[in-house]
Structures are given as C-alpha cells and as structure tokens.
Structure 1
Amino acid sequence: MPNIFPEVVRLGKYEVEKGKSSVSGLSSGAFMTVQLHLAHSASFAGAGVVAGGPYRGVETFRGAAPLAEDAYELNALQLCMAPLLPELAPNARRSLQLAQEAEQAGKIDALSNLRNNRVYIFTGTQDNVVHSPVVAQTRELYRLLGLSDANLAYHDNVPAGHSLITDNPEDSPLGLNQPPYLNNGGFMQSHRILNHIYPDLKPPAEKLSGRLLRFDQSEFLDGQQAYASMGKFGYAYVPQAVADGAPARVHIALHGCKQGYSYVDFSYGRADISSQPPYGNRYVTTTGYNYLADSNNIIVLYPQASGSDDNQAQNPDGCWDWWGYSSDDPANPDYYSRNAVQIRAIHAMLDRLGG
C-alpha cells in the first residue's frame, strides 16, 4: 500500500503533458465523466464510461413533471437510468444537439477536439440501476461526435451488475447491484480503461513506489462549498518518478454514488453517523488505478463528492451532479458547462497538477 499521509497537503504542480489527460467514472461518476470530457475537450485524450448515459440526458423530456425544476431529477431517476422501454432512453441525437448548443454559446470547448480521443464504454448485462439501452446511447453520441470504431471500445457482454469490476476476492459477486458497487469479475476494469486510452502502457507495478496524498478541495470551490456537495478532502496518487520530475499524464477517477470517502446514510435529512458504511477509501485504494499508474508515470486524481440533504444541495447519496442539484436556478440548471461548480473545481485541480 502507498504511504497515506495523515496531514493535508497542498496539491502540487508536476511535469504534466498538456492535452494528454483522461477521465473515467462509474455511475454518477460516468455521467460526470461525459460532462467533463465535453466541457473541457481540449484537456483530454480519452475517457472511460462505466454505466453512464449521454450528455445532458436529463433534458430529453421537459414535460416529465408539472414543475420544470422537478423534471430534471425525475428524468435522472427514470429515463436516464431505468427507462421502461429502450426507446424511452435519452436520445443521442438530442444529446448531440444540446452539446452543439452549449458549444455555440461558448459554454464548452470545441467538440472537434474529441474526434481523435479514445473512449471506453461499458454496461453490465445484469445492471438494473443504469440500464444498457441508456449506455448504448452514450456510444452513439460519441459516434456522432466523430470517433472511429477503432477508438471507441464498447463492452456489453459481461454479466456484471452495477459496479466497477475488480479482481479482489473480498469484493461483491459479479452480478450484484448493491453498495459498495465494486464487484469481483476476475479482472481490473481500471486497467482495461487506461490501456484503451493509452495503448502504450507498461504492465502494472507489483509494488507501489509513490504516495497517496490528501488535499483540501475547498480551495478549488470559490466559496461555493454549500452548493457543490463535495467533500472537504480529495486524493491524488503520485508515482515516485513523477515526484522526482519525470514527465507525466493525469487520469481523473470519479467514484459513483455512495462511494466517496465521507459517505454516510441520511435519515430524514440528517447524516446518520451510526449507519456509516465501511467503504472508506476503497475506490481510491483497491480499484487498481494506482498500480498501473505507478509503472506509467500517471498521476491519478480522485476528487470526492459528499452527501448532503438540505435547502442548498439535495444529494443524500453523495452523487456527482448530472441533473442540476448544485445550480442556483433549478428550472435552468447549469451542471454541464465549464462554469458548473463541480466541473470548474475538478478542472482547477487538473490545472494545478499541470494538465
């Protein structure tokens, strides 16, 4: 295991190669991956989407609720995760239209940056949380954005539940759909994601050389902590060679709902500390990202969302915002642009690292 410092350090700057960073995520982290990838396409060379839907999918059908501000959340829970029929899933062509509108309004980077990116997309055949027809629309969106079949890896034939897959015997059986959403399928999915994005990688290290750092996320939030629903701390794994000055790339790994380091159950709007699940930092330490990163001079950045359930951010499960809970205008939320509070914070972390 890497050396985890109990103290909080300031996120540092390294010799990061510009435009060669990447991002991946599970579930809400996968939805956020697509948003971040499109919003800051100039910064990235690729992405990994595990059980995530297309860009701005919650805006597929505004008539889903009597009040406009309720439509986004209802769409998130229904059409964007578990549509009754495949044809009710968020539509990739509508998603493309919304992305083009955001591009024309100057809210996201040029979509043309994405054409040579490499993207890995996965949906488990036993996933009953985010259904496969939703994820299929994410693949179609990237096709419409110009990615070739060679650069776009799509996997939909593994009998996995809603999870990031590992080869850890202590993780859940492959087909389960329950926290901590880490299932043992006999392979490290993080390695497959990184190997697709970066085809030149060396095998993973047998022993970690670097350090897992804990840093204060609040300095990246511009005083908007109450709305951001992000944890006080984030994490970054830095290989020793990178710390010594070697050129590096950055991979941003976004956990899913109920997977952040500070996640607790909420009961009647209050954090139920007595029901604290023992998930801790498993997404940060046991998903395999660090071992492949160590041998390939990749910094792994682990931003952290946290649960909240108040009049500023209703996010009891600690999900990343892909339907608008962090916006101050619920009827017209800005959760998908460069200016969205979480996207702005994560990209500021990447910028600090040098990417």
Structure 2
Amino acid sequence: MAASGKIVQLGSYAASKQKNSISGLSSGAFMTVQLHLARSASFAGAGIIAGGPFRCAETYQAGGMVTPQDSRIENSLYICMNPLIPATSPDAQRLAGMARDTAQAGLIDDVANLADDRLYIFTGSEDDVVYSDVVRRTREFYEMLGVKRENIAYHDNIPAGHSIITDNPEDSELSTNQPPYINNGGFMQSHDILRHIYGPLKPPAEQLTGQLQCFDQTEFLGDDAPWASMSKFGYAYIPSRVLAGEVAEPRVHIALHGCKQGYNYTDYVNGRADIANQPPYGNRYFTTTGYNHIAESNDIIVLYPQAEGTDNGEIQNPDGCWDWWGYSTRYAESPYYSREAVQIKAIHKMLDRLCA
C-alpha cells in the first residue's frame, strides 16, 4: 500500500451519490445508525457491530431534578449498553416513532428511504460492553421503519466479545472485551459487511496498490470545531483504479471506529492526558481490519473519519467516542442526531467532497 507521505486535502472522485454505505463498531455503530437515518438518501446500506437504535439515549425521559444531559448519560449506560434485564432494553417501537417524528420535523431525511437498504447487524454472544438485547432492538427498530427482513443479515451466535472481527493471528482472542477491540475470529467481518450490502464482490486484493491518505479534517468542522471532539486528521483509502481515473462513479464506504480506537487516542487519568502510556494501536482500525483489501479489488473508496478524546471541562468525551448521547448538544445549535449535528454534518461534507 502506498502512503501519500504528506497531509493532503481530501480529493474529489465523482463518487456515487446514492450507492454509498457506512459501518461502525460500538460508538461507531451507534453513530452509523444516526448518520444512516440523518442522511438516508445518501446510503444503500449499513453495517452495525454492537450498536443500538436511533436516539437510544432518549429512550426514557427523566423528570424532576435530572438535567437532559444527565438523563441521556444514564440512558446510554443502563439502557443502551448494559440493561439490567431485557425488559429495560431500548424501546424499539418508541424510538421508531421518534425517528418518524424527527423526519417529519425536517431534522433528518425521509425514513421511507430506508425501505430497500441492506443491513448487517452483529452482536457477539460474549459481548459484555453492549449487550445483545440492545442490538436485537436495533433490528426491530429498522423493521418497524419498513426495512425488509430479507435485507437484514442478523448475527448473534458467534462467541465474540466487544470487537470487530478479523482473521489476523496477532489480534486478541475472539471472546476478549478490551482494547483494541479487534479480535481474531478466523474471518474478516468487514468483507462480510460489504458483501451483504453490495452483493457479490471480487476477492480481496493480495496487495494494496492504492493510496492511504491522511487529510485535514478541520476544514469540514468550521466554527463547530471546539464542540466536535474530532481529530485534526482523518484517513481515506483510494483504490488504484480510482486514483487513475478509470472508474465511473466509485462507491464510498464510511468506516467508523469505536471508542479508544482513533489514531491519536490517549488515555485520560484524573482529567489529564496520559501521554507516556499512550497505547500503540491507534492506526489499527484503518490498516488491519480488512476494509482496504476488498475495497482495492472492487473500486470502493473507504473513508475513515476520526474522533478523539476530549476532557476539558466543557466536552467530556475522554474515550474518544462518537457522539451518540449528546455531549456536543450543550454547545452546538443542532441536536446531536440531526442532519446539522456537528459530527454528522462534518462527515457528510467529507462524503460530498468525494462525490464532487
């Protein structure tokens, strides 16, 4: 794989405007659902690994003295990740209704766009970070919004921990539930996701002859940058034939890492970045999870936006998660799940650039 060797401006490749897709793990999976709903006109499918339904953190509205922010945090922890019993898992029917109301209010695209989309939804049976009961409700949520059951590949019988799965011998054991959240299960989950969304694909390339580019994300953030909790740089894999201009309307796949998986993830201890003990795996998600190899042989651009840890007294996101519970809403003008939310807007601007 060739590296650009410098920071570049994200390029334009006349990519498709409707045949694109998105996938993610954990917070990246929750954000996948949010972006998929917010911009459903742009996508043909999604891959969700250990993620809950749209606006999951608002399943129950607390009353009394609890602030909306605190209510969302409580929901995210004890309903959207670790519900005590299945009955306290997210209410798929209520959240589907909220999605319809959000679309009618003009904050997200028409949910009718979802009808023909193809979904890959996965929960490891050994996942103790986001329980399988939660992910099961994600399938129910999409079905309630009209996605055909035959378009949904739902997997819950593999004894995987909280992770994206690879066939790399150096990765963690399959049942592991700890960073870097990349586990060896004997297959490339990224390949299964793309095959389900797009149908039969050519086998993954043995050698990467395209270019992994590092680009400046800040141009897509604008005045919202202080509330974005997004890194200075993002990454994109551009297949060789796309670089050469030999592909008409290449497709784009957006791959969203989970918490603690961004390129510059640093652990925070007592509010301070523990730089001395920064883990050395920050580039693994965009180099070793298999997306690039199957993208190379099938002319698919892979976009890897990057979130980063922020813990500065204003934004509390020390683990570098994507915003699926509203940590940015306190400061930004638009709610965290809408088309104009700071992270959703920035990522879609990146997609627009690739499609230009």
- TM-score, with length taken from structure 2: 0.97
Q: Give how far 1:315 is off.
A: 0.2
Q: Give how far 1:327 is off.
A: 1.4
> Which string of whole-angstrom CA distances, capped at 9 and with x for unpartnered residues, describes residues 62-82 of structure 1?
228723320101111111000
Q: Give how far 1:24 is off.
A: 0.1
Match of 1:274 in 2: 276
Q: 2:329 aligns with which of 327, 342, 349?
A: 327
Determine if contact 2:164/2:183 at 8 Å carries over to the other structure. yes
Match of 1:39 in 2: 38
Aligned length: 353
Match of 1:251 in 2: 253
Distance between the aligned counterparts of 2:296 and 2:215, measured in 1?
19
Determine if contact 1:25/1:256 at 8 Å carries over to the other structure. yes
> Which string of whole-angstrom CA distances, capped at 9 and with x for unpartnered residues, describes residues 117-175 of structure 1?
00000000000000000000000011111111221110000000000000000000000
Determine if contact 2:2/2:209 at 8 Å carries over to the other structure. no
Match of 2:187 in 1: 187
Distance between the aligned counterparts of 2:17 and 2:275, measured in 1?
42
Structure 2 counterparts to residues 35-114 of structure 1, below 5 A: 35-63=34-62, 66-114=66-114
Match of 1:229 in 2: 229
Structure 2 counterparts to residues 139-288 of structure 1, below 5 A: 139-245=139-245, 246-247=247-248, 248-288=250-290
Q: Give how far 1:283 is off.
A: 0.2
Q: 2:308 aligns with which of 306, 309, 318?
A: 306
Distance between the aligned counterparts of 2:334 and 2:269, measured in 1?
26
272-281 or 38-47: bigger deviation: 272-281
274-283 or 55-64: bigger deviation: 55-64
Match of 2:26 in 1: 27
The gaps in structure 2 that reach 5 residues or longer are: none
* SS in structure 2 of the partner of residue 223 of structure 1: helix
- TM-score, with length taken from structure 1: 0.97
Report the RMSD for the aligned CA atoms in angstroms. 1.3
Q: Give how far 1:101 is off.
A: 1.2
Distance between the aligned counterparts of 2:349 and 2:61, measured in 1?
32
Q: Structure 2 counterpart of 1:316, which letter? A: P
Displaced runs of 4 or more, over 2 A: 64-69
Determine if contact 1:324/1:333 at 8 Å carries over to the other structure. no
Distance between the aligned counterparts of 1:280 and 1:311, measured in 2?
24
Determine if contact 1:15/1:242 at 8 Å carries over to the other structure. no
Match of 2:120 in 1: 120
Identical pairs, percent: 61
Q: Structure 1 counterpart of 2:355, which letter? A: G
* SS in structure 2 of the partner of residue 133 of structure 1: helix
Determine if contact 1:226/1:312 at 8 Å carries over to the other structure. no
